[in-house]
Chains A and B, each alone.
Chain A
Amino acid sequence: MTVEQAAELTLTPVRSGVGVSVPRPDGTLKVSGRYAYSSDLWAADMLWGATLRSPHPSARIRSIDVGSARAMQGVHAVLTHNDVPGRRTYGVERPDQPVLAWDVVRYQGEPVALVAADHPETARRAVAAIVVDYEPLEPLCDGDAAIARGARKLRENDNEVHRVRIRHGDVESAAGLADVVVSGEYEIGMQDQAFLGPESGLAVPAGDGGLDLYVATQWLHVDRDQVAASLALPHDLIRMTNAGVGGAFGGREDLSVQIHAGLLALATQRAVKMVYSREESFFGHVHRHPAKLRYEHGATREGDLLYVRASIVLDGGAYASTSAQVCVAAASFACGPYVVPSAAVDCVAVYTNNPPCGAMRGFGAVQVCFAYESQMDRLAAALDLDPVALRRRNAMAEGSVTPTGQVVRQPAPVNELLERLRARPLPLAPPTGGRDPRELPGGVSNTTHGEGIRRGVGYAVGWKNIGFSGGLDDYSTARVRVSAAAGEPLVEVHTAACEVGQGGITVQAQIARTVIGIEHVVVLAADTGVGNAGSSSASRQTWLTGGAVEAACRAVGEELLGRAADRHGLDPRDLRLRDGGVASADGSVVATLAELLDEPAEATREYRPRRTTPLDENGQGDVTMAFAFSAHRAVVDVDVELGLVRLVEVATATDVGKALNPQSVEGQIEGATAQGVGLAVMEEIQTVGSRIRNPSFTDYLIPTILDAPAMPSEILELPQPDAPFGINGVGESGIVSSGPAVMAALRMATGRALERMPVRPHELAGATAAGGASA
């Protein structure tokens, strides 16, 4: 459909306020196939863009010959780095990534050239006709190797993107006092967001020399800034609209087609559509950082934690992306939601020639949770304590101090979350034999009729940040307009907060409905016509954009009360908005909204939560705006001979502050939990020599509906101080501890150490090189 047709699509008005499971306003469009995703957009006379990507993870570019591609019929433009008019690099935190590579390529899949043609197949053939002469170099494939002495330098200085060093308490002394010390080395593979809607967008050149960009993204304003810089255009000539987004999970925080489609559109003066295939998508966005984590925990014989030492290497791949912030998060949360009097944490994010890594749901908190929770289980075993009891003994609570020296000034119900899970009845143990294969490890593949199955139960608890950390100026903006549309008062909410599937537009409308009290609320498309909303990440949009919407609604309400007061000679402090009108203190109606809305009332407000501070040289500081806590209990059946798994149930307990839309809250928790368990048992981008071996949904497996466990959720609502309506972010907490809980359950079932996530069948089955099982 055209962008004009897309703009005409109407969302279902939201007519309920906060606390109600009102259906999504875009639900009707989505179930009927009429919702406008970025890949659905179309323009008359439009061209198709395609990208030539490097086949090598590390190589010098000797030459690029675009002659025969340009000569092909139906090809309208072939562009290289020479055709980038502005800044030749981009990046969400630091601009170190070439728009189009020159001189060298640093990862397999790095964009080298662009084509615009009249049919996608023509564009593919033209891409194939571009001749690039590469001199392949030996890639740097491993995070440890990147910081080893004598490693080849991928950048001028060294291969470190960022390093965080936390020194809290006195680890040396604590180590002397410990009765029990456990250590471990853990590893996490590279996870992909695997959102269902591949990257896509439509760039339309405008009459004023600027550009209208319709792209599926998470953060319009930072996209716009980067596009403007590379196209050498003023910001106000780049108008960005968030076209329908098919999932994000962090993978759309970095640019994909934005600059490329813009370059092609300006070069051809035609609308240009770019849509990545699934394979290209695997090369076209950043992934979750693979990590190696070395830990040492010391405790008293009663089970009180004395200290934690942690050394963490995050493989950032070829470019910086958000590695620095992931590094801060991983370090800050490295010790878990426990009282740890002394901690020494060293966390480094490094450059390699692997695929670039950046934001993915959980953002640094996921990797460390696997390590610290594995350590807690190991410590419990060493002390002969119940793992839940050990966790509860050391659990943080409100007022606890984190290893960065921050006092937790909010509910921190770690104990209660674990208690809730422990109190849940366990699912029934498997009957022996004769069962439906779909309820057994291996599923329809018919690998067991009951043989070899052992059940395991595991617990894990996790924490992560809400909002941007470490002193970044985090804020959002909302414009709210109330008018009379055909006699009925209408509230229009306009923000740049990207709806990525999470239901942001639902809760924005619910907030407006509650604050202004007008029944008919619509949320307008997110675009750069309104101020910055920040990214749809860090579990922050409901809080920050919700806060901005609340503030703008209150301002509009005051405007309406003021109008009523002026017109009726009353004191506005005595007036209230009620039932579509303005009422006095005794409840009598002073004015109807219809009469006050002879002119629309409008207000724009920014919302800023409490400020954070950067970490100092000892890694101390109030880095985190707010914390999210959650816990999981996983019940698994494992075929210990074949190493196959069935996830029986993964129960969650989460503190959500206040559920503005309980159904959406559950949806966030269930979806995040499913991604976390996917990481535990199947999801990994495998690389060999920095090349991706499985860039497809045939070999990068995500859970199907038959793999997904039952996911009952216990939801606590302990109000967050300072947050609008007392809410807490819920977008990510479900992913942090779900994988570690599954790993704990798998350990119980198999008796194996399982220090790597995702776990592979041969590790669960313990097949040896000789082919025998030691199970």
Chain B
Amino acid sequence: MEFLQPSTWEEALAAKAAFPDAVPIQGGTDVMVEMNFDRRRPDVLLDLGRVRELADWASDAGSLRVGAGVTYARVIAELGAMLPGLALAARTVGSPQIRNRGTVGGNLGAASPAGDSHPPLLAAGAVYEVASAARGARRIPAHEFYLGPKRNALEPDELIAAIYLAPAAGGQQFAKVGTRNAMVIAACSFAVAVDRSARTIGTGIGSAGPTPLQAPDAERYLAGVITDEGLWESGRLPDEAVLERFGALVADAARPIDDVRATASYRRHALTVMGRRTATWALRDGR
């Protein structure tokens, strides 16, 4: 096994170009588990922990650029006000020890349908920047990034550089269901983002399909009712039945299976409830 440790982004991309099978490692919270459990024996490990360019976030023309190496702990501490949905999700990731090491970029790289970052990023309409030495940077909208269980849209020579998304323009919420009240992998999860300037609703579903999913019908339905009934202006909450219907449409968008963490039918049921509740909170938050 080889261990490569670039200190600049350029070196990192060159290394990935030279060793397309190299496994990138940042906080190690996914990769090391696979190594420790003898599930993975890459020929080359590519440590991105020293690449300065990945470790920071910045505000750029009304959009935030969050480096792929920013830890969950920093998302909570530094970005909570601007990205409340992502921060809520970050707070549920593992333990303090994990949040000190794990990164949003790592979550994207692993592309597990249970990853906690994906639903709030989908809901907020995030765009991911990836790059290669040969072709430079390109941007992939979150909803085009997830191709299958633990498969994403990265080419073999590419690395994840950053996440772009706008600061919240309305309430954002995240909820996840598991059988433990801390340190639990999602049986299923849901994020909602209300955008009062664009007058849209965004959604993200975790752990209830082969990839993280959105619920476009639910988004259009709720935004439509709010618009039709003049609720953007009045700030009133939609009727209970509307929120219930939103939850049901969220559940309809899921493609869950039975597995060790929950049954498919429970996942649908939980999404209905979480959809209704989180939408209520998010609409109330941003009034």
Contact = CB atoms under 8 A, between A and B. Distances in A.
The reply to whether A and B meet directly (CB within 8 Å) is yes
Interface of A: 124, 277, 279, 438, 441-449, 451-452, 641-644, 646, 681-682, 686, 693-694, 696, 698-699, 701, 703-707, 760-762, 765, 767-773
B177 A445 contact: yes
Nearest to A639: B273
Interface string B179-191: 1111111010000
Contacts of B46: none
Given A447-B176, A451-B277, A762-B269, A707 B181 contact: yes
A682 B92 CA distance: 18
Contacts of A682: 179-180
A704 B38 contact: no
A772 B261 CA distance: 19
Given A693-B260, A698-B185, A699-B261, A442 B177 contact: yes
Contacts of A446: 88, 91-92, 173-176
Interface residues of B, number: 35
B3 interface: no
A661 to B, nearest CB: 31
A765 B266 contact: yes
Contact of A445 (B38, B176, B272): B176
B38 A124 contact: yes
Contacts of B38: 124
B39 to A, nearest CB: 10
A448 B277 contact: yes
B37 A686 contact: no
Instruction: Indicate the member of A124, A446, A449, A642 with the most B CB atoms within 10 Å.
Output: A446
Instruction: Indicate the member of B38, B269, B272 with the most A CB atoms within 10 Å.
Output: B269
B281 interface: yes
Interface string B230-268: 000000000000000000000100000000111101101
Contact of A761 (B92, B173, B177, B272): B177
A480 to B, nearest CB: 45
B268 to A, nearest CB: 4
Contacts of A644: 177, 179, 181
Nearest to B88: A446
Contacts of B175: 442, 445-447
Nearest to B190: A447
A704 B179 contact: no
A443 B181 contact: yes
27 contacts: A438-B181, A442-B175, A442-B177, A442-B181, A444-B182, A445-B184, A446-B91, A447-B176, A447-B274, A452-B273, A642-B273, A643-B266, A682-B179, A696-B37, A699-B261, A705-B182, A706-B183, A707-B181, A760-B179, A760-B262, A760-B266, A761-B270, A762-B269, A768-B265, A769-B265, A770-B265, A771-B251
B251 to A, nearest CB: 6
A442 B181 CA distance: 5
B197 interface: no
Given A449-B281, A642-B273, A704-B182, A767 B266 contact: yes
Contacts of A277: 36-37
Contacts of B88: 446
The 8 A-B residue pairs with the shortest CB-CB distance in the complex, in nearest-first order:
A443-B181, A767-B269, A762-B266, A706-B182, A771-B268, A693-B260, A445-B176, A682-B179
A761 to B, nearest CB: 6
B85 to A, nearest CB: 11
A444 B95 CA distance: 11
B148 interface: no
B156 interface: no
B178 interface: yes
A773 B269 contact: yes
Contact of B178 (A124, A438, A445, A703): A445
Contact of B179 (A124, A641, A681, A696): A681
A646 B181 CA distance: 8
A761 B181 CA distance: 13
Contacts of B178: 445
Contact of A704 (B37, B183, B281): B183
Contact of A707 (B173, B174, B182): B182
